[in-house]
Amino acid sequence: MAQQKGDSPGYDWERGALPSNAGPSGPAGAVDHPRMADHPGTAGHPGTAERPLPGAAGPYGIPDLRGSSGPTGAGGLDPQDERPSRGIPPWAIVAIVALQVVALVGSVGLIVGGALRLLDQDAEPAAAPATRSGPPEEAVPDKSPGVVTDAQGEELADGTGGFDDPAVIGEHTLSWTTWTAGTISVSALDVDLDASLPGAQGADAVEDGYRLIEVTYQVLYEGPGQLAPVEELWISGESHRAYYQDIAQGLLPDPMEEVRPLGDGQSAEFRSLLLVPDGELDGLRLGVETYNGEILYFGPQ
């Protein structure tokens, strides 16, 4: 076991040198430091056992890391060698200040911009909303007027054929100019205000409160080439409150859809069928129009 530390006379505490009259070496088993052979106070010199050098082997061959005891304190560390705690680096302080400046400038800009906008709104009236831009809508061409003639073929210019003054069935003829540069003419030959379906065999197939109106038409084409009435004519019924489509297809054997294309001077007959409420019968008009011609009317009564 190592001897207790004693006061060695003549020890220089400032330089840490061992006295020349150091005591005997340490206990058996101690290992001398390889660099201490020529140093005073090392193994072989007196006083080594009382104050071993740092790193020298202590009892049981364990190095003694305590070091020399002196003014530097335990462990031989100089207080001046201790590293100071690290604070905030200078670049971080600069970055924080820069961020604060940017935030301040942005806040001032928002405030100034809002104030200017308020001033502009007070000084100028609100602008009208912008209209949606786009290609101009395709203009609908004006439909060509129809012509009404009497039984002698004389053209009538007194408004006959309009909704308020419809043409008379069996007396007047309606005609229009076609896209083929020809003329198509339509006459109403007969009307049945209480018709029945041919396949019903006399049974009433219509619900109470409604009427089947059956109209027989004749169509004549004059002009170059051929013209299919189903592609040129539109047959309908109309009152002040409702519009009625032709339902003859599939119910009558000779609807307009069955008429073949007509050549110059050719004519054909077909039938139209309308389902009309009883209360609309008095104001009913039978409308006829072409692809590019205005509508004209027959009066069913």
List, as one string, the DSSP characters of 102-124.
HHHHHHHHHHHHHHHHHHHHHHS
139 domain-assigned: no
> Which two structure tokens, joined as six digits, stand for 240?
């002040």
**First vs last C-alpha separation in the chain:** 145
More confident residue, 112 or 135: 112
Examine the fold and report which residue of 80, 102, 118 is the final residue of a domain before the chain moves on: 80
Give the per-residue pLDDT at 32: 47
Tell me, yes or no, if the pTM score tops 0.75: no
How many CA atoms, within 13 angstroms, populate the side-chain half-sphere of residue 71?
Answer: 8
Report residue 232's pLDDT band, with 50, 70 and 90 as the boundaries: very high
Which one, of 194, 191, 151, lies nearest residue 173 by Cα? 151
Return the top range by mean pLDDT from 88-97, 109-118, 204-213, 279-288: 279-288
**pLDDT above 50 for 163:** yes
Residue 100 lies in a domain: no
Flag the least confident range among 45-59, 75-89, 186-200.
45-59
| Domain count of the fold of the chain | 2
Alpha-carbon separation of residue 284 from 134, 274, 276, 300 (angstroms): 42, 11, 9, 7
Give the mean model confidence (pLDDT) for residues 211-232. 95
Q: Is 271 helix (H, G, I), strand (E, B) or coil?
A: strand
Asked whether residue 126 is domain-assigned, the answer is no
Percent of the chain surpassing pLDDT 70:
58
Per-residue pLDDT band for 5 (boundaries 50, 70, 90) equals: very low
By residue range, what is the domain housing residue 74? 1-80
Q: What is the pLDDT of residue 86?
A: 57
Q: How far is the C-alpha of 268 from the C-alpha of 217, rounded, in Å?
A: 8
**Backbone torsion region of residue 106, taken as left when φ is above 0, otherwise alpha when ψ lies between -120 and 50, otherwise beta:** alpha
Query: Does 169 reside within a domain?
Result: yes
Encode 275-298: b = buried (16+ Cβ within 10 Å), e = exposed.
Answer: ebeeebbeebbbbbbbeebebbbb
List of residues 6+ apart from 153 with CB closer than 8 A? none
The whole-number pLDDT of residue 196 equals: 86
Q: CB-based burial of residue 268 (10 Å sphere; 0-12 exposed, 13-18 middle, 19+ buried)?
A: middle
- Confirm whether 185 is domain-assigned: yes
- Domain co-membership, 67 together with 194: no
**Is there a domain that residue 74 lies in?**
yes
For the cut 90, the answer to whether the pLDDT of residue 143 exceeds it is no
Residue 136 domain-assigned (yes or no): no
Same domain, 156 and 295: yes
The arithmetic mean of pLDDT across residues 65-90, rounded, is: 52
| pLDDT higher at 127 or 142 | 142
Note whether 190 and 169 are within 8 A (CB). yes
Q: Which of 80, 112, 132 finishes a domain?
A: 80
One domain, residues 59 and 151 = no
Assign 130 a pLDDT band (cuts: 50, 70, 90). Answer: very low
Under DSSP, the state recorded for 29 is T
**Mean pLDDT in residue range 13-30:** 47
